[in-house]
Each structure stands twice: as structure tokens, then as C-alpha cells.
Amino acid sequence: MSLSYALLALLLDCPSSGYELNKAFEGSIGCFWKASHQQIYRELGKLEELGWVNVQLVPQAGKPDKKIYSVNELGRSQLTAWTARPADITPIKEEILIKLFVGTLVEPHVLQSHIQQHRQDYEALLAAYETIAAKWFPAPQNLPVEDHLRYLTLRCGMRYATSWIDWCDEVLAYLATLN
Amino acid sequence: MSLSYALLALLLDCPSSGYELNKAFEGSIGCFWKASHQQIYRELGKLEELGWVNVQLVPQAGKPDKKIYSVNELGRSQLTAWTARPADITPIKEEILIKLFVGTLVEPHVLQSHIQQHRQDYEALLAAYETIAAKWFPAPQNLPVEDHLRYLTLRCGMRYATSWIDWCDEVLAYLATLN
DNA sequence: TAGTACATGTAACAGGTTACATGATTGA
DNA sequence: TCAATCATGTAACCTGTTACATGTACTA
């Protein structure tokens, strides 16, 4: 259900093709949602059937036609109603925590390299978020409301990545005592 | 895929019925995985078919029979092999961040109550984790390796909840300036 | 007598992943 | 010439949710 609304949210900002929406999820929007291109195309089809979006076919020379989707009045009102409804917290599902839980099945150095890789991945994510923040929100004090709210979603991503990095350091410190 | 391994991890610790595994996910194990009872029963059936677990029927007076599952040698070696494989980081999917992203569609007080509720939920989660930590790991310095690794999974949950609480405060401070 | 805990499941559907499929253009 | 980018999709499968179904025992 949420994916539809995530797509509507992006389309509201800027009418786009499925391909462009997929790019968005790979970029800064990735700090709050993620979907594969197959899922996006299927979901856009459903939104079209529901009549929440309009489609405009844009022929292109030498490339397949682009289907540009945009949110119509019905879609906008559905998105607004959904936004007003409360949101539950998301349960945690973390493969790496299962692996740590049964960590004594493997050698400590195996866990160590898992956690080191995780730390690196979150470092890279944090760096990406920081680049985006520096580029789009260099002076967060004086942003229009809309932009400030978006800046806050990025802040969430940054805090998230930072908290993982700190935890990895805590785990690595412990694992180091096992050698 | 991960759910099977999460179940194996719990069963390795202590042979259990589907009902008991579901309880575990609702409790402290919830800091790294979550599944509904329907999913658990289906997955246990698959593990049985694969021959990774053994089942023992325990008749009970006045209650339906219990099916106690335990990990056998094959299951154990599969879990070990899986644990040794690297784990990817989990993409973020947060409904509340979509709502914040399109937050200007609703009145600021609506966002405020969403975030306040979120803050409360994470406070409650943190309190639950702290209770578990105090009960099971009162002296984390001197734990056997197995227990210390479990303690670290709890620490991850605590850091996670704390980071959400801090972020909620940041958002609430901003929303307060809008009135 | 109503609700909760115990204990298991089926069926239908929705959400998400993996593999396959097409085909032009651009840059290394 | 090989890979990447642009651009869309189908089919099969696996994962996860919701609703339904059964039945006892205990507690408020």
C-alpha cells in the first residue's frame, strides 16, 4: 500500500516516468523508500486503473516512448487523506542481527568482517546523504516549510546511518577482545 | 529466506512450538525480526519438508497437541553456512517519512501528532529493551561470548530507538516554530 | 458471559524479488 | 566491441498480510 503513496508523493513533486521514479529511489529518496523497477511499473499500472494518475505518452527518437505520469485531483486527495492517517512504527528485520545472535557458530573473524563491511556500507550511505544535504540544503535555517520537511527526512537517514556506525564500533570493540 | 534462519536461530537456542516462536518475536527477539503466526507455521512446514528440523508431537490434556520443533544436524550446518555469508544492509522503508515529505498537504498539528505518537512508541520500545537488558544482562562486562553477542543485538535495538527519539525531538522543535 | 491465553491451521490476496526479454544510443 | 544508459515490460516465484476457522480452559 505504502509504495503507491510513495510514488504519488514523488509524482506530486514532479511528473515522471517509471524509469525516473526508479532513479529517484536509488538517490536521495532512498532514505525513506526503495522499490525495484518491476514493482514500480506494476504499481503505476494500478494507479492508472484506479484513476489516481494521468498518463502522457511522449514519443522519443530512437528510444522507447516515455510514459509521463502525473497526480490528478483524485490522487492528490487520496494522498492527503492517507497522510492525515497515523503511521505505525516499522518492525526491525535485520539479517545481520540474526547472524550475530548465532555468532558462536562461526569464527570471530567472520563476524568481524561482516560488521566491518556493514560499517563501510553505512559510512558510504552517510557520505552520500551529507553530499545531498550540502548541495540542496546548505543553509537549513532559512528554508521554506516544504524544503525543511524534506531536509528532516534526510536528517533521519543521517541519524540512522550514524547510529549503525556507532553500533558497529561497539561490536568491533568487543570482537577485538576475543582474539 | 531470512525468516527460516531466524526460526532456526531461535530453535537452536531452545526447541519450541510455532506458538512459542511467535511469542519470542513479540518479545526481546523483536529487536531483530518479526513475523505473524501464519507465516511462522508455513515456514516451519517448509523447514520440516527440507529436513532441517525434527518434530515431536506432544499431546496435551484439553489443549491441541503441541508440535515441538528442533534443529537437526542438517539444519545446523545450513544455519552455519548462512551465518558465514555476508549480509547486505537493509533498505529503509518508512511510511512516516513519506508523510513528512508531503507534509504540507496537511495542517502542521497533524504532523505534530504523528511525530508525537512515533516518539511515544519508540520510548515504549526503548523502555522494554532496557527492562530486558536489566533483567538478563545486569553485568554485561562478564558475560560468556554467546550471551554478550545477544546483548549486542539488544544494544542495536536500544540505539535504534534512541536515534528515532532524538530525530522526533528535532522534528518537533521545528514544527513548534510553525505555530 | 465476555475476553484472553493456549494451540493450530487454511485460503486468498497483496507486496516484493529474480529471471527473462527487447532494442537503440553513447562512451571507453 | 563491450558495457552502460535509456526505457519498458512479462512471468514465475517467494514473502507477508488479512480474514476465516476450530476448540478448551481460565479469569474478570
Q: Rounded distance, CA A48 to CA A40, Å?
A: 12
Question: Do residues A69 and A17 touch, judged by C-beta distance below 8 A?
Answer: yes
Q: Rounded distance, CA A42 to CA A138, Å?
A: 37
In CATH, what is the architecture of A3-84?
Orthogonal Bundle (1.10)
Question: Which of strand C's nucleotides are less than 7 A from any protein C-beta?
Answer: 6-12, 14-19, 22-25
Quickly tell me which residue has 490522487 as its cell.
A75
Helix then strand then coil, % of chain B, to nearest 5: 70, 10, 20
Give yes or no for residue A64 having a pLDDT over 80: no
Q: Rounded distance, CA A102 to CA B100, Å?
A: 37
| Confidence bin at A59 (pLDDT 50/70/90) | confident
Measured in degrees and rounded to the nearest 5, phi and psi for residue A140 equal: -65, -15
Give me the pLDDT at residue B61, please.
Answer: 67
In angstroms, how far is C23 C1' from A22 CA? 20
The 10s digit of each residue's pLDDT in A70-90 is 999 999 999 999 999 999 999
Contacts of A99 in chain B (CB under 8 A): 82-83, 87
For residue B50, the Cα-to-chain-centroid distance in whole angstroms is 25
Phi-psi domain of B175 (left: phi exceeds 0; alpha: psi -120 through 50; beta: other): alpha
What number is the average pLDDT over the span A143-167?
97
Contacts of B157 in chain A (CB under 8 A): 92
Distance from CA of B57 to the nearest CA of A (A): 26
Q: Chain B residue with minimal CA distance to A117?
A: B86
Q: What angle do CA A153, A156, A158 make, to 5 degrees?
A: 115
Contacts of B99 in chain A (CB under 8 A): 82-83, 87
| Confidence bin at A179 (pLDDT 50/70/90) | confident
For residue A44, the Cα-to-chain-centroid distance in whole angstroms is 18
Question: Do residues B122 and A89 touch, judged by C-beta distance below 8 A?
Answer: yes
Task: Select the residue of A31, A94, A104 nearest B149 (Cβ to Cβ).
Answer: A104
The amino acid present at A111, given as its one-letter code, is L
Run means of pLDDT, 10 residues per run, chain B, 179 residues: 95 95 91 95 96 91 83 97 96 96 97 98 95 93 96 97 98 95
Cell of B171: 522534528
Give yes or no for residue A44 having a pLDDT over 90: yes
What number is the average pLDDT over the span A136-163?
96
A39 Cβ nearer than 7 Å to chain D strand:
no
Task: Select the residue of A33, A83, A106 nearest B106 (Cβ to Cβ).
Answer: A83
B32 and A83 within 8 Å at the Cβ level: the answer is no
Question: Which of strand D's nucleotides are less than 7 A from any protein C-beta?
Answer: 6-12, 14-19, 22-25
| A to B CB pairs, distance under 8 Å | 188
Contacts of B166 in chain A (CB under 8 A): 159
The residue ranges of DSSP E strands in chain B, in sequence order, are 53-60, 63-71
- Residue whose CA is minimally distant from D10 C1': A38
Cell of A1: 500500500
Domain boundaries, chain B: 3-84, 95-176
Give yes or no for residue A62 having a pLDDT over 70: no
Question: Do residues B123 and B115 touch, judged by C-beta distance below 8 A?
Answer: no
- Residue whose CA is minimally distant from D18 C1': B38
The 10s digit of each residue's pLDDT in A89-118 is 999 999 999 999 999 999 999 999 999 999
The 10s digit of each residue's pLDDT in B35-44 is 999 999 999 9
B93 and A33 within 8 Å at the Cβ level: the answer is yes
Q: Please report, rounded to a whole number, the percentage of residues in chain B having pLDDT higher than 90.
A: 91
What number is the average pLDDT over the span A61-68?
79
Contacts of B34 in chain A (CB under 8 A): 91-93
Give me the pLDDT at residue B60, please.
Answer: 77
Enter the pTM of the model: 0.94
Q: Chain A residue with minimal CA distance to B155?
A: A167
Question: Do residues A6 and A24 touch, judged by C-beta distance below 8 A?
Answer: no
> Cα-atom radius of gyration of chain A, to the nearest Å?
20
Longest Cα separation, chain B:
63
Give yes or no for residue A61 having a pLDDT over 70: no
SS (H, E, C) A57-97: EEEECCEEEEEEEEECHHHHHHHHHHHHCCCCCCCCCCHHH
Q: Please report, rounded to a whole number, the percentage of residues in chain A having pLDDT higher than 70.
A: 99
